[in-house]
Structure 1
């Protein structure tokens, strides 16, 4: 599973307080639009955490140091609009524990958002190895000319594409993504 995919989905699942989600046990699935909402919401946190984590490994004149903050602000401008659908998607894939779903569904945004963002941030810091920082910085620099909505759609496309089981494989999908009709 790619780092971005791990971060987005683990954060989504952890934000619900759910340690395990098995798609086979949970018939709920997410549309690509719902995945895009989750990605749109998480990207600014992922980028900011990546910059902090990678800062010691990168040049003070590099892309993150010189332009990273403005890029995060550009992406953060879309967070609020993505939150309602991202929140609904989190609740939708919350597992089989109806009590936990009800608790999460009744939390205020002011309570749930910092919790979800804190988990995403911690996962990024834990998931990035120092040797990956230059490549990540380059990848972000290459994506930076795209509008935030295109980047979120591209990340969603990669997640959905990478999640498809290989023909003949018995491995189940890591993510509850709905099949495209």
Structure 2
């Protein structure tokens, strides 16, 4: 029988769950499946989590931390103009493979907790984008619309195939950036 790895921690279980989740969906996130993939006993799981629901809550927290909070922190750390901050944020989004985002949105179709987290994160992301557009100099209504359009590009990449290569995604997001940061609209 396999024994518990003393170096295996809560985050190891979360990472294993995330990989399983992204590859095979939330239905595949099971204690036995994860224990087998980590080559460890189930007992280790219960050392770190109360139950499977506790792990599922950790998946949601990790998604929000990695795909939203960390991106905003990175943008806030750079000393630059609001336009440079916006471009940096869009480049972070373009570099994301969207696997976790897609898995979360599929899960949310059938799970109220996941849907609530999607709604909370969507609101946070839209408000931050709007904040950046306002800092650039747009009125609140203009900033809200530009934030919505910008975010729609990101979500579009989740639901349809994004440009294949990173350089293509970066080129496309820079075009979106150039278009949406024009102060004087094209007549």
Greater C-alpha Rg: 2
Greater relative CO (CA pairs within 8 A, separation 6+): 1
